[in-house]
Amino acid sequence: MASVIDPVVDLAWLRANAGDVILADVRWYLDGRSGAEAYRKGHLPGAVFIDLDTALAAPASPAEGRHPLPDPAVFAAAMSAAGIGDADRVVAYDDAGGVIAARLIWLLRSIGRQAALLDGGLLSYDGELTTDVPSPPRADFTPREWPAERLASLTDTTADGGHVVLDARDAPRFRGDTEPVDARPGHIPGARNLPCRDNVTPDGRFLPVAELRDRFAAAGADGTAEVISYCGSGVTACHNLIALEHAGLGQGRLYPGSWSQYAATDRPAATGD
């Protein structure tokens, strides 16, 4: 099934399609706070919780990075348990401008499912949150292999293939000023910094499409060359890919291992801008 909804939808769209969409809360925090606990304290009515570490990633390892892609069967089982079936449309949100929820949306869209980020996420909701946890019936979600054409390997990011490599991390980590979680500081040589958090305004809503296109063009991604996106662990890199598609500049490829995999090798690292 081809995705027929835009990768980003707003609250008005969500309300207009109420009853025909499954809402997913995908909060997660690098500082160790519990996304599940945040969900239990209050979430959008009807939303199910999707855990990044167990549903959207395989176990971490130096060889594969901090958030490798989940095994397709594990992902399918998690979707089934959340009541998400093959034909369902999914809208996901978090409280960080979509930089975490984008992982679920990218995974679903990469295998042809209909899925979108809620523009503005939790902050955009103007109703009352709920602590009621839904118990959806188990759905039929067919496992599908992650399509090779949507993925990039460590070698792809360094090969001279005429593509643009975008690093979604904040500028200090890209420059190598600091590295709080991975093996060493810096970035992949030749990569260009496009911090994903700057795809949105302070209220978490995406920039207008024209401004997104300008941002990508300034980083060398104007729609004429293939884009490879990475970040620290392959999660927030998905936000740049969603923004790229939302801006009408193609789909791009994800480097799942990202800096957490690359930094564990002996390949050269670049620092500075």
Phi, psi torsion values for 211, nearest 5 degrees:
-70, -35
Which of the residues 47, 231, 237, 243 is marked catalytic? 231
Rounded distance between C-alpha atoms, residue 11 and residue 221, angstroms: 29
* DSSP string across 25-72: E----TTS--HHHHHHH-B-TTPEE--HHHHS-PPPBTTTBSSPPPPH
Rounded to an integer, what distance in angstroms lies between the CA atom of residue 43 and that of residue 129?
Answer: 5
Is 9 strand, coil or helix? strand
3-state SS assignment for residue 262: helix
Token pair 């995705």 is found at 3
Catalytic: 238? no
Question: What is the rounded distance in angstroms from the CA atom of residue 160 to the CA atom of residue 43?
Answer: 45
- Residues assigned a catalytic role: 231
